[in-house]
Amino acid sequence: MVATTPRNTRQRRAVAAILDDLDGFASAQEIHDILRHRGESVGLSTVYRNLQALVDASEIDALRNDDGEVLYRQCSTGHHHHLVCRACGRTIEVAGPTVERWADGVADKHGFVDVAHTLEIFGTCGACAASAD
Amino acid sequence: MVATTPRNTRQRRAVAAILDDLDGFASAQEIHDILRHRGESVGLSTVYRNLQALVDASEIDALRNDDGEVLYRQCSTGHHHHLVCRACGRTIEVAGPTVERWADGVADKHGFVDVAHTLEIFGTCGACAASAD
DNA sequence: GCCCCTGATGACAATGGTTCCCATGGTTGT
DNA sequence: ACAACCATGGGAACCATTGTCATCAGGGGC
Ligand SMILES: [Zn+2]
Ligand SMILES: [Zn+2]
Ligand SMILES: [Zn+2]
Ligand SMILES: [Zn+2]
């Protein structure tokens, strides 16, 4: 169970570069398309693998939209939640210390262990709302 | 745009009965299996359709687990969230007025409109934790 | 109760995101 | 440069969910 260092491949660098450039959340397929259009084509399987590896290493965040697609984003470190635009993916990280304590307290009160929570706020950002008139 | 009353079919009654009996969240496929074992077999498509109709009518709640499956449950009315056991589905409804205000405030402050939020707490209930020793 | 219209059903196909498989290629330590 | 051996990618497989459409049955009108 020794932690193996992942290899520094062109594909791994390309995926990381996209995540670095992108501002908001994006799906694996969107990232795959962006790579294709940049001429740095990477196999879809490889995109998925590298994204999963980054999630496992806690280097990026993942969440599911209403359609069940998984979206990825390079976030700041530490526990936080997101305010996400459904149209363009623009994201604002939010911290809610009160919510954290409340969630843990609720679970504890009812004898639940190994507790985690999901909390995301979805909406339409000002720019997308303006362009939708 | 007149609201049409759904027909009172055996299948619709059977699905509703299961939801009435079940305590926690369950997937469409689980409900389909339960119906089969009860001898009240209902087509899988029909299970999905009726569940979707009940969700649209706000008569049941739906949420996604970590695996991306949609789970359904007959809940009390009004806006609330859930503390759900990952192993057995046992569910406790929780209300967090503070969280509601906080989420709306965050979205408003950043100019987001058409806002909704998801908040679920997942864990292992006492019973399941005890039987896993 | 009987008919008829129309919505509901169900077996199967199709969809779509994601994962699996495995032969090939590229990376890294020596 | 060499030789492991991990990573890649193209396609198949997976699996929850949705679509299709011929057939069925609820229930309003009689
Ligand atoms: Zn936007
Ligand atoms: Zn949190
Ligand atoms: Zn449990
Ligand atoms: Zn809420």
The vertex-A26 CA angle with A23 and A31, nearest 5°, equals 105
Bridge partners (DSSP) listed for residue B84: B91, B122
A18-61 pLDDT, tens per residue? 999 999 999 999 999 999 999 999 999 999 999 999 999 999 99
Q: Which residues of B touch A67 (CB under 8 A)?
A: none
B71-129 pLDDT, tens per residue? 999 999 999 999 999 999 999 999 989 999 999 999 999 999 999 999 999 999 999 99
B18 alpha carbon – ligand 2 mean position (Å): 33
Chain D nucleotides reached by a protein CB under 7 Å: 6-11, 16-20, 25-27
This prediction's pTM = 0.92
B3 alpha carbon – ligand 3 mean position (Å): 39
pLDDT band, residue B2 (cuts 50/70/90): low
Encoding tokens for residue B122? 């997942």
- H or E segment and range at residue A52: helix A44-56
Bridge partners (DSSP) listed for residue A119: B119
Kind of pairing, strands B26-27 and B61-64? unpaired
| Ramachandran angles phi, psi of B98, nearest 5° | -65, -45
pLDDT of residue B4: 76
